[in-house]
Structures are given as structure tokens and as C-alpha cells.
Amino acid sequence: MTAILTRPNWTTDLELEIFDKLLDQHAPHLPKKRLEEPRPPKTAEERENFYHYRVAGAAHDLFIVQVCAKIIDSFADPELQLFLSRQIGDDGAHAQNTRLRAQAISGQDPIEDIQKQVQKHWDYMGDLPIRNWQGFLAFELHYELHIVALLLINSRTSKINDPDSAKYAAQRILPDEAVHRLGVVDWWQRKFDQASPTEKEDLIVQVLEADEEGQSRRNPYLWDHWLLSQKGIGIEIDELPILYDAWRREVLAYFLDIPVSQLPKLISVSD
Ligand SMILES: [Fe+2]
Ligand SMILES: [Fe+2]
């Protein structure tokens, strides 16, 4: 029997199509592209808030590096190892660039502040990212895919940015992150597509359970982070929690190859 592929490939175009559909449903007044260019932080207070926002960004990337470096040896899957080695290299480079930009703006090396924030990720995520493949997949989903709703909102509505950071993000971070998301999709699909229908049902339950644990672990962080984004780059979007939840459902429905409406009720970022 010839297998019929029903799922479209995961691409950045598909991401935009899904996200813009969610905007139409939940926040039609939000722009589909950037209307106004951001400006650099001006006052001491703005620079301070922007610094904390950048430290959080570097910590997100450095946490990914630390998790992937710990776990890479536990998978006997050379394809996955090659992907993870790229992810480690890229996210390490992103963290380093962000560190240097934060240093240029504040006049101090933020490495200790960054590592303090990385430790907070370890504290709230616990051993989930390195517990087993299910936990690691949930980690990748949360740190690479579920955050896309916020990234897209930022890219369209942020009011403050540093021009050098914006240039690096456009040239390096955006294309790298698209590769990371594809790498996660690819690893998962190699596993899922060869499973039998009964095995698939089992996998779906396991992935949802790990992803839900990730969500409840991340909820307090996400609210803190959104407050930081509001202060640091001027993002003020009331619909952010709704868009976050709806986007996460779309990602999970795609991964598990079931319609969004057939997903069970999931933990909300607002729970
Ligand atoms: Fe990154
Ligand atoms: Fe990444």
C-alpha cells in the first residue's frame, strides 16, 4: 500500500498562515506585519528594562545549550545528534551575541546575571528536559515551537530594540530558529510515522502528558517573561495568553496528526 502524506510540511509559511488565522479569530485588530520601526532605548530606565529583557533572551538560549549538551549522548541516533550539535552551536552563538549586546548597552558583562536566570529555568523545569525522550521532546516543543506566537507578536509590535541586535536577529537568529523547529519536527516524525496505529495512540498520550507537565512548570515563568517584554520592548497585548494557548494547540495537533478540535482540553497559560 502506498502511504499518503496528508500533513503539509512544517515551514515558516505554514507558521504564518496558522498564526494569522488565529489572529483573525482572537485578535483581528493586531497587525499582520510591522507598521512602525522600533527605536533604541533612551532613558536610563528604558536601558535597564531592555537589559533585563536581553539577559532573559540569552538565558533562554544558554539553557537550551546546557540541556542539549547534557542529553546529546543519550540518544543512539546519529541524525538527531547532528541536529542537536547544530542547535547547541547556534543557540550558543545567539546567547553570546545577546550577552555582548547587553554588555555594550549596560557597560557591564551580564554573564553572571544570565547564568542566574538559566538556573531559574533548571529550577522550574526540574529534570523534565533530561528525564527521557518524552520530556526532552516537551522541552524542545516549549523552548522552540510554543514560543513562536510571542516571537511573531514581538516581530510585528515591539516598540524598542537595539539596531545591532535587530540586524543579527534578522540575519542569523530567524533562519537558525526555523532550522531548529524543522529539526524537532523531523526527529519526531521519524519516530511517529513508523509507529503502528496502536503505538501512535500510545505516543500521543505520552507526548501530551509530558507537554502538559512542561506547561504547568512554565506558567509562572511565562507571565514573568511577558511582563519583562512589556517593560523591556513595549509589548502590550491583552490577547497574548489566548494566542499562546491557541498556537500551542495548533502545534500539538500538527505533531500528533489529529485535528485541533480532537485534542483534549489542555492546561492554559492562564491556569
Ligand atoms: Fe536561539
Ligand atoms: Fe533555537
In tens, the pLDDT along 80-138 reads 999 999 999 999 999 999 999 999 999 999 999 999 999 999 999 999 999 999 999 99
Q: What is the pLDDT at residue 5? A: 56
Owning domain of residue 42: 12-262
Q: Has residue 6 been placed in a domain?
A: no
Give the Cα separation of 220 and 222 in Å (integer): 6
Percent of the chain with pLDDT over 70: 98
Q: Has residue 248 been placed in a domain?
A: yes
What predicted TM-score, i.e. pTM, was given to this entire model?
Answer: 0.96
* Ligand 2 geometric centre to CA of 81 (Å): 15
CATH number at residue 190: 1.20.1260
Q: Has residue 2 been placed in a domain?
A: no
Q: Has residue 271 been placed in a domain?
A: no
* Ligand 2 geometric centre to CA of 61 (Å): 7
Give the Cα separation of 51 and 56 in Å (integer): 9
Burial class (CB in 10 A: 0-12, 13-18, 19+), 210: buried
* Ligand 1 geometric centre to CA of 220 (Å): 21
Q: Has residue 196 been placed in a domain?
A: yes
Q: What is the pLDDT at residue 2? A: 45
Give the Cα separation of 227 and 65 in Å (integer): 25
* Ligand 1 geometric centre to CA of 201 (Å): 32
Digit-coded pLDDT (tens) for 119-133: 999 999 999 999 999
Is pLDDT at 6 greater than 70 in this prediction?
Answer: no
Counting ligands in written order, the one closest to the CA of 91 is 1
Q: Has residue 56 been placed in a domain?
A: yes
Q: Has residue 245 been placed in a domain?
A: yes
* Ligand 1 geometric centre to CA of 240 (Å): 21
Total domain count, the chain: 1
* Ligand 2 geometric centre to CA of 17 (Å): 21
Digit-coded pLDDT (tens) for 206-223: 999 999 999 999 999 999
Task: Kindly report the backbone phi and psi dihedral angles of residue 43, in degrees, each rounded to the nearest multiple of 5, phi listed first.
Answer: -80, 170
* Ligand 2 geometric centre to CA of 198 (Å): 32
Name the residue among 75, 111, 79, 82 with its Cα closest to residue 95.
111
CA distance readout (Å), 89 to 39, 59, 65, 92, 133: 30, 15, 8, 5, 21
* Ligand 2 geometric centre to CA of 105 (Å): 24
* Ligand 1 geometric centre to CA of 71 (Å): 17
Q: Has residue 50 been placed in a domain?
A: yes
